[in-house]
Chain A
Amino acid sequence: MAAADASEGLLARPAVRRALLIGPALAIIGAFMLLPLGLMAYVSLLERGLHGGVEWHSFTPEAYVKFLFERDLMGNLEVNTDYLQIFGRSFLLAGTTVLLALLVGFPTALYMALQDNPRYRNLLVFMVTVPFWTNLLVRNYAWIILLRNNGLIDNGLAALGLNPGPLDLLYTNFSIWVGLTYSFLPFMVLPIYASLEKLDLRLVEAAFDLGADRRRALQRIVIPLALPGIVAGCILVFVPCLGAYVTPELLGGSKSLMIGNLIQNQFGAARNWPFGAALAFALLALVLLAMTIYALRFRRAPAGAV
């Protein structure tokens, strides 16, 4: 009796209940995120093994040094910007993809949100998610079939009587943009749709009523109120784009190495685990930096629009 009372009393305490509720989530984050991250940090500080792997008890900052410097034959350090360039290119490619996804995604989301019929609206949401049903690799190969010389686009144009010859669409920055934008578009459309769907259309009517035409109502009312969704969409596209390696590998050929491919190489062919781990940490640091700047810029999200 007294024991039951005690356990009930314990459960009734808010602090205990909070800990119980949050416990599972913390355990999962700890086991599957913090632990691997710690392991990665540890590995990045180790000496590489001669035949791959690492020497578990030999510490060296070599991996981080290698990111910015190169040792010449005499053992002196020289600045090497090769890896920085790869990072820069990845950021540029990811940024362009975000812009393209925004240009395509915002009108799509707006169209979806403006549909009166809720069943049609749900059908559209469903259709946006359909590509996820197919493996990313398969989808990228599909783009290869479309874009390659004598592929569907080339042959299709030829069949229409336009014969521009081989367009050389594949293995260019263009094909990477197409592939990345296509892959990550749903991550842009869905958050923007979510914020536009909540938008009170009477506010748009009020803007019309006060003399705003469609363009200015969009500029002054719709976009500012959808900003939280737009920001979320941009982050959701930008971050995975930075680390993408399947699409650049398949659609970009091996011409333009991106961060993802570089890291993959270190754990594969190059057999330099510490350097791979260090690169991954450098990426993490840069993403966190970018997010912090973003968060500071948009800290004051529009009141009532969240």
Chain B
Amino acid sequence: MPPATASPATANPVTASPVTAIDVREVTKLFGSPADEVRALDGVSLAIRENEFFTLLGPSGCGKTTLLRLIAGFEQPTSGAIDLYGDPLTGLPPFRRPVNTVFQSYALFPHMTVADNVRFGLEMQGWSKADMDDRVERMLALVQLERHGGRKPAQLSGGQQQRVALARALANQPKVLLLDEPLSALDLKLRKEMQIELKRLQTETGITFIFVTHDQEEALTMSDRLAVMHDGEVLQVGRPEELYEHPTRRFVADFIGETNFLEATLADSAADGARFRLDTGAELQAARAHGHAVGSRVTLAVRPERVALQAPDDGAGLPGAIDRVVYFGTDTSYHVSLQGLDAAMLVRVQNRTGAARQFHEGDPVRLQVPPEAVQVLRD
């Protein structure tokens, strides 16, 4: 493992090597005429580490694909810089960058065979014929398409085309592989298979992957770390569990998984926790106050599966009544209207074998919210 050169603040010795592969600094990208300009990226900074499976997650139009295209070199930043292992990429045309892209549409060359598609990048780099043959064979084996080398892309299924696109992009041994929503055209079952396949390829090749998706589940299951983007900005960067358990922004909490939002006032804050008061006067405990001043209005985020449903006579907790019960197989969702509040909370309870359902529509309940389940948002 190479020696750590990145700053201690970004180093994470557990999940990835701390060497920064792609360093994005204060990148802004404007499109359109000055009169009618669109700010696709607004001062984005990111450090993507070597050997990392890094995901850019966000809804369409959030700027994630623009950022990928800037790294690939198809667009130039309006301001800011992008470095690859300390060397500036800015200004280099795409064909001089040691990064390769797997396109959303695959962009396989329709007039070439599968093998010729994979061979293309090697030819451009001037490999010898024997080396190319060898490499093409190895790449096709890597994506399990050994026997399809002579076919045209149009003769392959969507999943197979996807694997050809991967083999083609990996053949050049890029320092970084960029993947632009590569799984979005596949059906669910195939998508799950390819998710596993992608993880395997990343581990086997040891190449840094930058993966763009709008699918939060895909992002959570595949990434070492991910960045949530919205309106051209990076809102939060972290490991999947960090982003799920401790979202700091309303958009992040909402975009990843399901969340209940509660408006509250910070009553008091201490080292071991903080107390928040809802408009009904009921109080909630949270592990941290995140620097909000006492008396300020804040938004609390609570995951539905962290809330426990209890009988109304069970003492502490928020009183309410069950509006609706939705059965999901693995679990059951309860929509609970809170007493004295114009708000409903979603509670998710796992279904256990043999256990009869305890609560029904119309039942009064109490919601037990443990302090570690309450996240205080910055906005």
A and B interact:
yes
Which residues from chain A contact B168 at a C-beta distance below 8 Å? 210
Instruction: Verify if B103 is at the interface (C-beta below 8 Å from A).
Output: yes
Bin the interface of chain B by size. Answer: 20 to 34
Instruction: Verify if A10 is at the interface (C-beta below 8 Å from B).
Output: no
Closest to A204 in B: B107
Q: Does B111 lie within 8 Å of A202, measured CB to CB?
A: no
Which residues from chain A contact B93 at a C-beta distance below 8 Å? 208, 213
Q: Does A210 lie within 8 Å of B152, measured CB to CB?
A: no
> Out of B107, B121, B125, B172, which one reaches A200, CB within 8 Å?
B107
Known contacts A200-B105, A303-B152; decide if A207 and B120 are in contact (CB<8 Å): yes
> Out of B101, B125, B172, which one reaches A206, CB within 8 Å?
B101
Complexed CA–CA distance, A208 and B124 (Å)? 10
Which residues from chain A contact B120 at a C-beta distance below 8 Å? 207, 210, 212, 220
Complexed CA–CA distance, A205 and B111 (Å)? 16
Which residues from chain A contact B110 at a C-beta distance below 8 Å? 203, 225, 302-305
Instruction: Verify if B4 is at the interface (C-beta below 8 Å from A).
Output: no
Which residues from chain A contact B169 at a C-beta distance below 8 Å? 209-210
Which residues from chain A contact B74 at a C-beta distance below 8 Å? 205, 208-209
Complexed CA–CA distance, A93 and B124 (Å)? 38
Chain A contact residue count (CB 8 A cutoff): 21
Residues of B166-213 whose CB lies within 8 A of A: 168-169, 172
Closest to A220 in B: B120
Q: Does A303 lie within 8 Å of B111, measured CB to CB?
A: yes
Complexed CA–CA distance, A203 and B112 (Å)? 12
Give the number of residue pairs across the A-B interface with Cβ within 8 Å.
Answer: 70
Q: Does A206 lie within 8 Å of B109, measured CB to CB?
A: yes
Instruction: Verify if A224 is at the interface (C-beta below 8 Å from B).
Output: yes
Which residues from chain A contact B308 at a C-beta distance below 8 Å? none
Instruction: Verify if B154 is at the interface (C-beta below 8 Å from A).
Output: yes
> Out of B105, B108, B172, which one reaches A211, CB within 8 Å?
B172
Complexed CA–CA distance, A206 and B125 (Å)? 15
Complexed CA–CA distance, A211 and B94 (Å)? 7
Complexed CA–CA distance, A211 and B125 (Å)? 7
Complexed CA–CA distance, A304 and B161 (Å)? 14
Which among A200, A202, A203, A209 has the greatest number of chain B C-beta atoms within 10 A?
A209
Which residues from chain B contact A303 at a C-beta distance below 8 Å? 110-111, 152, 154
Binary contact track A190-209/B, C-beta < 8 Å → 1, others 0: 00000000001011011111
Complexed CA–CA distance, A206 and B107 (Å)? 6
Which residues from chain B contact A208 at a C-beta distance below 8 Å? 73-74, 93-95
Instruction: Verify if B89 is at the interface (C-beta below 8 Å from A).
Output: no
Instruction: Verify if A216 is at the interface (C-beta below 8 Å from B).
Output: yes
Complexed CA–CA distance, A216 and B125 (Å)? 12
Nearest Cβ distance between residue B133 and chain A, in whole angstroms? 17
Closest to B98 in A: A211
Binary contact track B118-130/A, C-beta < 8 Å → 1, others 0: 0011001100000
Complexed CA–CA distance, A75 and B69 (Å)? 81
> Out of A203, A209, A220, A305, which one reaches B94, CB within 8 Å?
A209
Complexed CA–CA distance, A206 and B94 (Å)? 9
Complexed CA–CA distance, A213 and B124 (Å)? 9
Which residues from chain B contact A213 at a C-beta distance below 8 Å? 93, 95
Known contacts A203-B109, A209-B94, A212-B95; decide if A304 and B152 are in contact (CB<8 Å): yes
Which residues from chain A contact B152 at a C-beta distance below 8 Å? 303-304
Which residues from chain A contact B108 at a C-beta distance below 8 Å? 206
Closest to B165 in A: A206
Q: Does A205 lie within 8 Å of B105, measured CB to CB?
A: no
> Out of B95, B105, B111, B154, which one reaches A209, CB within 8 Å?
B95
Q: Does A211 lie within 8 Å of B124, measured CB to CB?
A: yes
**14 A-B residue pairs with CB within 8 Å:** A200-B107, A202-B107, A205-B94, A205-B101, A206-B103, A209-B74, A209-B169, A210-B95, A210-B100, A210-B121, A220-B109, A220-B120, A225-B110, A304-B154
Shortest Cβ-Cβ A-B pairs, 7 listed: A304-B110, A302-B111, A210-B121, A211-B124, A206-B107, A208-B94, A202-B107
12 additional A-B pairs beyond A208-B73, A303-B111, beta carbons within 8 Å, are A202-B105, A202-B107, A205-B74, A206-B107, A207-B109, A209-B72, A210-B168, A211-B124, A212-B120, A216-B124, A302-B110, A304-B153
